[in-house]
Structure 1
Amino acid sequence: MKINATLPEKGRDLRLDLFRGVANWAIFLDHIPDNVVNWITTRNYGFSDAADLFVFISGYTASFVYARMMIERGFIVGATRLTKRVWQLYVAHIILFVIYIVSIGYVAQRYSDPEIINEFNVAGLVDSAVETLRQGLLLKFKPVNLDVLPLYIVLMGFFPPVLWITLRRPNLTMLASIVLWLTARHFGWNFRAYPAGVWYFNPYSWQVLFVFGSWCALGGARRSMSIIMSPITLYLSIAYLIFALIMTMAGKFPDFGAMFPHWLFDAFNPNDKTNLAPYRFLHFVVIVIMVIRFVPKDWPGLEWKMFDPLIVCGQQSLAVFCVGVFLSFVGHFELMMSSGSLFAQIFVSVTGIAIMTVVAYYISWSKRQDKPQKPPAAAAAKAA
């Protein structure tokens, strides 16, 4: 079957690293409740948030990395490389899972605070430890804030055939993804969770963001440039962003929300994150349009030193994400045990981001040391 997708240009796209770093920082901040610093994240000013960005970029980078490999070396090679990545994600999740629940259990015992076990959804370990751990290995049991990686693992696990089809029928694949998302919303499809309930991030719904990222990477954005650059699209995008801001603020401030008709307020509040509400997906699409329009791949600002910490955190995304999830628990507990003052909130937030950044720089430096060092030209000439 003929390849109809347009492969992305070779070379690193710093926009992906920058926004992936933004997503990691925002997820860390958003996971700390009663923290004034998380007011700087996007979830407070529109329908979508860092989780949408994380899933979209994951689909984009998966296509960016593996599409050319699948074309040049065949489906089997591409699929095995994707499977290897799934295994890496799974191992990272299990390590984080074990450290996370052990830390929560230790804190609850050390400080005689059993409520923290219920708050972080690990009470099942007390009554049925073996079965709970088994369900954790199957990705069905997830403590609070450990929902994103299992979603990523599932989406990547099903991605090899999706990528193969996308390379040949990109528009049809995107359409099928949208149909699956809307059908799942209509019939209430979702994965079962343990011990009860369903997944917080419904894979049937959230796959549309992952596939949308893949579609954009494989020429969808490029083929849509006439629409993206249209003045009408710009005006409509700005209007929708303003509307999303108003509705989000209405949900956060009851007195302001009371100014709107119930039918309008109830349509957007509470924000349906689990099944990815259409207005939420549309909000993220609008953000993507604005970024493509105003932040091209060769934007000089990507070279600014002020963005280096974010870019490095984006380049070491998996490790930074895992560290950030763990630090969000530490930060939450610290605020619970302290006064929770404004200074404490700022200190916990800044310290956590600093640690994530140090980890990213260390991993980046360590990887460079693993590469063979080329001798300097002068030393090579002298040796000759």
Structure 2
Amino acid sequence: MTLAVAHGETPLPKLVVPAPSAAERELRLDLFRGLALWFIFINHLPANVLTWFTLRNFGFSDATEMFIFISGYTAAFVYGRAMQERGVVVASARILKRAWQIYVAHIFLFTIYLAEISYVGARFDNPLYAEEMNILDFLKHPDVTIVQALLLRFRPVNMDVLPLYIVLMVFFPPVLWLLRKKADLALGLSVLLYAITWEFELALPSYPSGSWFFNPYAWQLLFVFGAWCALGGAARMARILASPITIWLAAVYLVFAFAVTLTWHFPKIDFLMPNVLARWMYPISKTDLDVLRFAHFLALATLTIHFIPSGWPGLKSPWLRPMILCGQHSLEIFCVGVFLAFAGHFIMVEMSGGAWMHFVISVAGILIMWAIAWVLAWYKGVAERRDQQVRARESGGKISGGEI
């Protein structure tokens, strides 16, 4: 959602994204990124009770749009400040370092994921797992497939988000530089690339055939738009977003999208969809980030920042703390979620327990993700306090309480 990434200095109007400071972390992005990670995990499981409560069943967009937008927003905030304080070279080096960390995480996850699927398939003598998870080519030609995986061209099922994120981060340094100099021009060029992608069907090839499930040429628009919002775009749109006309238009579009989505799940009411409208709308491409999906995300974002302003007291609720913790450690939790999703898939296949089994597995996976996020937060706190003590000893000063 179009929210601030870090910390508010001065109270601003309700819909204006606050300027960042080092005093207090802005929790809204962490909250919605954590929610996106939970939705992604649940959607990677076979259809179950909780699947009906995820975003994709209520409109055109889903958790992926939320995740990519927030990633662009946070990247612009963190590295934009570094570019301002340390210069283009240092900031670019930090961005590429982060891209490398994501790449290493992806390869590490790829290795464990393949081992998990291969072991389960061999242990239970069920080759359908390898076919369903798209690793048959690896089992037939492991030498070629591993090279293709290192090139991000081969990916098992459920491992498409991180390669997209890696590509977006690799090309982010010049984009961020232009955003800081001419923000509207940078966003305009992003829109132009998006339009060219649709006109000329630009895509990156996959192995052994086809193209990337998430087309970077198209999805870069959402990432750049998030960065544009972080660098002042959201504040400039505040008056428009606060307009009652905008709020009502967003609400009407969300209701329309929900009504269309109902026809997908209940074929008996499909006759309510006019043929002219259906021919114009379909297919609603997720691969190329259809305009209808992008507009749906914008409508959701508009209503979200209207009803959940900066400083919303609910962000301090202990009930939301698990989701916020997961959002604060998104890379690690995403990887854990992919691993747990296949484990849950395996249990559902081998132990048919109905809706209750599905519900228990979904909740158990979320609890595990929360527990790991809590451990990571605890470890980070210990490391920061240790660093404080070292700096205090070196400077001869006293240690101040609280996080930096």
Conserved in 2, the CA contact under 8 Å of 1:7 and 1:219? Answer: no
Shift in Å, 1:172: 1.1
Pairwise CA distance, 1:372: 3.2
**Change in CA separation of 1:74 and 1:221 when aligned onto 2, cut-off 3 Å:** same
Quote how far apart the aligned CAs of 1:265 are: 2.8
Alpha-carbon displacement from aligned partner over 1:261-311 (angstroms, at most 9, x marks no partner): 223234444431001110110111111112222222211111111110001
Query: How many Å separate the matches in 1 of 2:186 and 2:19?
Result: 18
Of residues 118, 133, 140, the one that matches 1:105 is 118
Which deviations, in whole Å up to 9, do the C-alpha atoms of 1:163-219 show, x marking residues without a partner?
Answer: 000011111111111111121012111100000000000000000010010011011
Residues 87-98 of structure 1: pairs in structure 2 closer than 5 A = 87-98=100-111
Q: 1:8 to 1:135 in 2, by over 3 A?
A: farther
Correspondence list, 1:214-225, <5 A: 214-225=227-238
Q: Say if 1:155 and 1:203, in contact at 8 Å, map to a contact too.
A: yes
SS at match of 1:281: helix
2:253 alignment counterpart: 240
Deviations 1:295-353 (A, max 9, x none): 22211111111110001111111111100011011111111111140111001000000
Residues paired across the two proteins, number: 372
Q: How much does 1:72 deviate?
A: 1.5
SS of equivalent to 1:372: helix
Alignment of 1:334-345 (within 5 A): 334-345=347-358
Corresponding residue of 1:75: 88
Matched, 1:10 2:21: yes
Please tell me the residue identity of whatever aligns with 1:138: L
Q: Residue 197 of structure 1 corresponds to which residue in structure 2? A: 210
C-alpha distance after superposition, 1:23-63 (max 9, x if no partner): 00000000012212111111100111000000000000001
Q: Which one of the candidate residues 262, 287, 299 is aligned to 1:286?
A: 299
Tell me what 2:192 maps to: 179
SS at match of 1:326: helix
Is the contact made by 1:47 and 1:244 (CA closer than 8 Å) also made in structure 2? Answer: yes
- The two structures have a TM-score, normalised by structure 2, of 0.89
* Partner residue in 1 for 2:159: 146
TM-aligned CA distance change 1:372 to 1:260, over 3 Å = closer
* SS of residue in 1 equivalent to 2:272: coil
- Show structure 2 runs of 5+ residues with no match: 1-16, 390-397, 400-404
Q: Contact between 2:103 and 2:166, CA under 8 Å: does it hold in 1?
A: yes
Kept in 1: contact 2:260–2:273 (CA 8 A):
no
1:348-367 → structure 2 map (5 Å cutoff): 348-367=361-380
Query: 1:8, CA displacement in angstroms?
Result: 4.1
Change (3 A) 1:189 1:8: farther
Q: RMSD between aligned alpha carbons?
A: 1.6
Instruction: Kindly state the Cα deviation for residue 114 of structure 1 after the two structures are TM-superposed.
Output: 0.7
AA partner of residue 171 (structure 2)? F
Confirm or deny: 8 A CA contact 1:8 1:217 kept in the other structure.
no
Q: Tell me which amino acid in the other structure corresponds to 2:20.
A: E
In structure 2, what residue type is equivalent to 1:89?
I
Could you tell me which amino acid in structure 1 is paired with residue 361 of structure 2?
V
Q: Distance in 1 between matches of 2:373 and 2:203?
A: 34
Residue 3 of structure 1: aligned partner:
none
Instruction: Tell me: CA distance 1:157–1:101, structure 2 relative to 1, closer, same or farther (3 Å).
Output: same
* 1:100 to 1:254, Cα distance in 2 relative to 1, 3 A: same
The 3-state SS of whatever aligns with 1:273 is: coil
Structure 1 Cα separation of the partners of residues 291 and 210 of structure 2 = 22
Asked if structure 2 preserves the Cα contact closer than 8 Å seen for 1:251 and 1:269, the reply is: no
**Aligned pairs for 1:50-65 within 5 A:** 50-65=63-78
Q: Per the alignment, do residues 253 and 271 of structure 1 end up closer, same or farther by CA in structure 2, a change over 3 Å counting?
A: farther
Q: Please state how far the C-alpha of 1:86 moved relative to its aligned partner.
A: 0.5
Q: Does the 8 A contact of 2:284 with 2:292 survive in 1?
A: no
8 Å CA contact 1:251, 1:270 repeated in 2: no
More divergent stretch after superposition (152-161 vs 333-342): 333-342
Counterpart secondary structure, 2:319:
helix
Q: Distance in 1 between matches of 2:151 and 2:289?
A: 23
Does 2:262 correspond to 1:262? Answer: no
- Return the alpha-carbon distance in structure 2 between the equivalents of residues 372 and 351 of structure 1: 32
Corresponding residue number in structure 2 for 1:36 = 49
- Look up the SS of the partner of 1:69 in the other structure: helix
TM-score of the superposed pair, with normalisation by structure 1: 0.94
Aligned AA for 1:366?
Answer: Y
Report the secondary structure of 1:305's partner residue: coil
Please say if residues 250 and 265 of structure 1, whose CA atoms lie closer than 8 Å, have aligned partners that are also in contact: no
| Runs of at least 5 residues in structure 1 that lack an aligned partner in the other structure | 1-5
* Counterpart-to-counterpart distance in 2, 1:96 and 1:320: 11
Conserved? CA contact 1:271–1:277, under 8 Å: yes
**Pick aligned residue for 1:125 from 138, 148, 153:** 138
Identity over aligned pairs, percent: 47
Give, in whole Å, the separation in 1 of the partners of 2:125 and 2:65: 37
Which deviates further from its counterpart, 251-260 or 335-344?
Answer: 251-260
Aligned match of 1:369 in 368, 382, 386?
Answer: 382
Question: Partners in 2 of 1:110 and 1:266 — Cα distance?
Answer: 47
Q: Deviations over 1:122-149 (max 9, x none)?
A: 0001221100010001100000000000
- Aligned to 1:306, the other structure's residue is in SS state coil
